Every structure is written in C-alpha cells, then in structure tokens.
Amino acid sequence: MASLGHNRQGGSRWTSISSCFVLMKRITPLNLEIPRLVTHMADEDRFLIYHERHLTREGNPALAHQVAAHRMEWGCFNALHMERLVKLSKEPGCTASITPSVSVNKERRVPEEQDIEMPDVTAVVPPPEGAEGDIDEDNLDTELLIDSFERILVMSDDS
C-alpha cells in the first residue's frame, strides 16, 4: 500500500509538471502575438487617420467622414483590446510587450508627415516699391520683427 500512495504523489506531480509545460507552450506564442496585435492596431489607426486627412484635403469630405466613422468604430474595439492586454501583461509569466513596434507589413504603411519648410526669419525683406530710401535702423528692426511674428502666426495657424 505504501507504494500506491507513492504512485499517487508521483502521478499528481507528473500531472502538475505536464500542465505547467502545456501552459508554457501556450504562453510563449502569446508573448509573440500580443506585440503583433498591438502593432497592427497602431498601424491600422495611423493608416485610417492618414487617409481621412488625405480625402479631406482632396475635397472628398463625404468619404473622409465614412473613413472617420470606421476608424472610430474600430477605435472602440482597440481600446477594449488594449485594456484587456494591459491586464494580461500584468499576469505572472507574461513577458509580452504592449508597446507598438515597427511593422513589417507594407500594406498599411503611410508616408511620414512632411515637415513644412520654414522661411528664413533672418532674411532681409526688401522694402516695397515707392518706399523712402531713408529708413532708419530702428524702424527697419521693428519692421523685421513684426514681419517675423506675422510669419510665425501664419505657420501656427496652418497646423
């Protein structure tokens, strides 16, 4: 009878070890798939925002509105998924990153936003035609300063 009890302990230990092995086999793919899902959600959001803005600039507000509605609908699900992924990432044994990384999928790539080239603020603006040639130095500095501020205001209104 003593050996029967020993076999039960060995059997339960084997069951415990094998269930841990099965659990590890399930966690390892999750540690790979979670970052892929997070990256896909970020790529999809960037893709839809880009095309929504592009359609608006191209003068197609109705289609841009449809893209925005689609993006907002998917955004609700993305928020729910991220909430669950954050909870899952706090579980013991989960080493998955929930930070989006660089996608290798080229289907959803969008061009980087182009920086607007700023005009040279230190450039001397020629006086308008018909202006007097005897502009004093202080007056010229004031005009250049005003012109620079106006350029900054125009650029800040564009973005």
Query: Of 59-68, 79-88, 89-98, 100-109, which range is least confident?
Result: 100-109
- pLDDT of 131 higher than 80: no
DSSP helix/strand/coil, 143: helix
What are the C-alpha distances in Å from 151 to residues 126, 140, 145? 16, 16, 10
What are the C-alpha distances in Å from 83 to residues 3, 26, 87? 50, 21, 6
Span 10-27, mean pLDDT? 64
> At 15, phi and psi to the nearest 5?
-60, -40
Q: Which amino acid is at 84?
A: R
Which tops the pLDDT comparison, 49 or 108?
Answer: 49
DSSP state of 102: -
Q: Say if pTM beats, i.e. exceeds, 0.85.
A: no
Which tops the pLDDT comparison, 107 or 77?
Answer: 77
Span 61-73, mean pLDDT? 92
DSSP helix/strand/coil, 15: helix
